[in-house]
Amino acid sequence: MTIKIATRNVFRNTRRTLISLLVIGVGLTILSFVLGFVGEAILAAKRSLAMELGAFQIGDPRVLDGKASGLEGLIPPEIAERALALVRGLPGVAGATTQVRFAGLVGDERGSTLLLARGIVPEDCMTDYACMIVAGRGLGTTDAREIVLGERLGARLGVAPGDRVNVATGTVAGTLNAATVTVVGLIQYGEAQVEERLGLVPLGFAQRLLRTNGVERVLVWLDDLDRSSPYAAELNRAFSTERLPLAVRTWDELTPFFASLQTFWSAFSGFTTLAVFVLVFFSVLEVLTISFLERTREVGTVRALGASRGRVFAGFVTEGLVIGIVGGLAGAVAGAAVSLVFNSLGLTFVPPGGNMPQPIRVAVGASTLAIPFLVALGATVLSSLYPAGKNARLTVVEALRSV
């Protein structure tokens, strides 16, 4: 009954109520959009990094922590196989592969430039970079003298698929080694600076060039990225038990800047939430204060008929609750609608330092709908406490004297 009366009182002044609901709706639409954008941005960065680095990596702890170069902490083949056997025993493993990375020079008689190469397993679908090929083809067998260059690096060298280039680098023993390879493809990488230096070669050829049979790291992908940390802890215990000189680092440990990025986006969404809360609070406070004061004589009449102060207070707070529920639902629905329309536009942008357009999307989910609704509910209820308390404290005589 209290809710029915409160709803009737709320819509006694339709114009005033609609203004309140409009303010709440606009504020919540903005908040829902911002929360969805931030959520999608964090998720996209997380997926991109995890796809590039794997859910976690296994290697020499000095290499993984950046305290030594990859060639200083190579993993012998027998130890790499034992590590891979432990990984394959975990449920939900989408793929695992080995890599070795090295720096060197690439070019021909016309000139050379810096090369940051990755020796990869061509047959492994997780790391063959086939989806990034824009000219030519991917790598063949693991021993082939082939290379896939970044598109920008190929343009700098003036080479195309089918041309031959020379690759030179230092071996594990510190001597110089070089070989002539065939450019079989060009890839477009996500980061422009990386693409200007990137080269992919078969793992077997990279090992011959470096004069080693070891690998630098083991990359592991999971069906569920949230399992990264538990699996990393489990493997670290297993390596310790079996006395393997290996460590595991999850994708977020390998990219410490992600924590800073997440903190920034979380702070941004937090400030937006606070701003909308304050906007709704003061807008509704003003409207409810005027509305409640206009009905002071009604309060006196109700009190004279036997209603307690608590009942009067609860009635006014319920009116704020009704506004919060109606405004919150309207704002959440409007925010979801705006987000869906925005996603249908298919907008893209090239991030700073990036090389490929990325889609701009806004997530629409439980959190992007529930949080704005709770903000509206909390702000309207709190804004009703002061005018409700002020009217409830009036004596019957004071209320009936009000003009």
Which DSSP string do the residues of 224-253 spell out, in sequence order?
A: SGGGHHHHHHHHHHHHHHTT-S-EEEEHHH
- At 324, the amino acid letter reads G
| Average pLDDT value over all residues in the chain | 84
Sign of CA dihedral 205, 253, 220, 191: negative
Phi/psi at 57 (5° precision):
-125, 150
pLDDT tens digits along 55-104: 999 999 999 888 888 788 899 999 999 999 999 889 999 888 899 999 99
Asked if 195 contacts 41 with a C-beta cutoff of 8 angstroms, the reply is no
Statement: residue 332 has pLDDT above 90: no
- The pLDDT value recorded for residue 1 is 44
The owner of tokens 């003003």 is 286
- Collapsed DSSP state (helix, strand, coil) of residue 37: helix
Query: What's the CA gap between 174 and 113, in Å, rounded?
Result: 20
Statement: residue 129 has pLDDT above 60: yes
- The pLDDT value recorded for residue 397 is 55
Spatial CA neighbour of 53 closest among 204, 249, 215, 196: 249
Q: Across residues 23-33, what is the average pLDDT?
A: 89
pLDDT tens digits along 165-186: 999 999 998 899 999 999 999 9
Statement: residue 401 has pLDDT above 80: no
User: Global pTM?
Assistant: 0.76
- The pLDDT value recorded for residue 261 is 83
- The pLDDT value recorded for residue 209 is 95
